[in-house]
Amino acid sequence: MAKYDYDLFVVGAGSGGVRCARMSAGYGARVAVAEERYLGGTCVNVGCVPKKLFSYGSHYPSAFEDASGYGWNVGQHTLDWRRLIENKNREIERLNGIYRTILKNSDVTIHEARATLLDEHAILVGGEEVTADKILIATGGWPAVPQISGREYAITSNEAFFLDQLPERVIMVGGGYIAVEFAGIFHGYGAHVTQLYRGDLFLRGFDQDIRRHLADEMIKQGVDLRFNANITSLEKTAHGLMATLEDGSTLETDVVMYATGREPNTRKIGLEGLGVEMKKDGSIVVDDQFRTTVDNIYALGDVIDRFQLTPVAITEAMVLSANLFNGQKLTTDYTDIPTAVFSHPNIGTVGLSEEQAREKFPGVDIYLSTFKPMLHTLTGRDERTLMKLIVEKESDRVVGCHMVGPDAGEIIQGMGVALKAGATKTHFDATVGIHPTAAEEFVTMREPVP
């Protein structure tokens, strides 16, 4: 008779938890997973998926305008916000069902209830106590709102996907992926957007040219960008909300959305009492095998404060399941992770920024190109694309690749393969471009900038 009910119990059915559960079961392990909110986690329900759907929809007004340059007379168009929400909800429900089916078909036991650790092997889930040889914490993160007066009037990305109507005025607070993306989404749908960021320039950690270029493009579109600005208090008024800023000025708005960071979902699930070491922000300390300070308890994804990206959590999950139940000794490679920001226009990036490359290498060459996308030669829209390559001089290896422009994420995926393979600038130069595309610019930039 088995000592424990399960070989692995996964707390959290997001992208990382589900992947680890089903792969571990595929290796022959007896697996259960617990999820108290919704199958698929943040990405499927209130993250990547609905955000990308909203992003698609927010581009239609400009597409209607651009159509006239190509001979199309587009008639009067109106927005049915409720239809958007209903259609989005229907798609998310479909994906929830797919996740449920995937787990069931993998013989993973599903507990749609909150799980709390009683000791290093016992879990209380839905009023039932079960035991497991190994436990994985994959509970993801949750949006944080600063402790300011009136914080209860603010929303986060969680609530943004369920608004009853499109607000006319939005204050977006923050300067990361989510803030920049939602500023573009709300502006695209027709809201007046003011974005506040407490620093000098948003998207800290990205290449400086990319950050400046996106800011310029957003300002041209009409987004009210305000850097070195922050809210001290919120007050409800007869006409909406009143935000008081640090400089004493005020702004009236209908919605204030905070996207100033996410906190790991690690509190009150029993970790503290077991001696699982956590950082001040609640993220779990793990080694390179995702083992916590309690030998049989593991953690991955957003709760370990490495890279808060869905594909990273999935990669970590595949490594962990293979190591635990398939006898492998893999590690996760965090270098050259490609990523996209679905801003207006999009950002795609992989590898080092210019600033990082200059710190790391004695010599680098920078190749930079800005141009009007071919689409807008007939629309007359004042939008420019930026592409940038960073090359380490001694080896000729391309160590950074960045883009701001339409379909940047789609284009950078291929660049990610090239950088992972160690491609040099000579390889880029020897590659025949696909004409006419924006992507060909990456293989036709010949002269470095002075």
- Sign, CA torsion 392/397/399/404: positive
Identity of the residue numbered 308:
Q
Per-residue b/e over 163-181, b at no fewer than 16 CB within 10 Å?
A: beebbebbbbbbbbbbbbb
* Contact partners, residue 7, CB within 8 Å, separation at least 6: 24, 29, 30, 31, 132, 133, 134, 325
Helix (H, G, I), strand (E, B) or coil at 4: coil
DSSP 283: P
Cα 285 versus chain centre, distance? 22
Known catalytic residue: 435?
Answer: yes
Catalytic residue among 77, 239, 344, 435: 435
* Contact partners, residue 447, CB within 8 Å, separation at least 6: 367
Helix (H, G, I), strand (E, B) or coil at 230: coil
| Nearest residue to 11 (alpha-carbon basis) of 35, 30, 31 | 35
The angle formed by the CA atoms of residues 369, 370 and 373, to the nearest 5 degrees, is 125
Torsion of CA 202, 203, 207, 209, to 10 degrees: -40
| Nearest residue to 114 (alpha-carbon basis) of 207, 51, 33, 226 | 33
Active site residues: 435
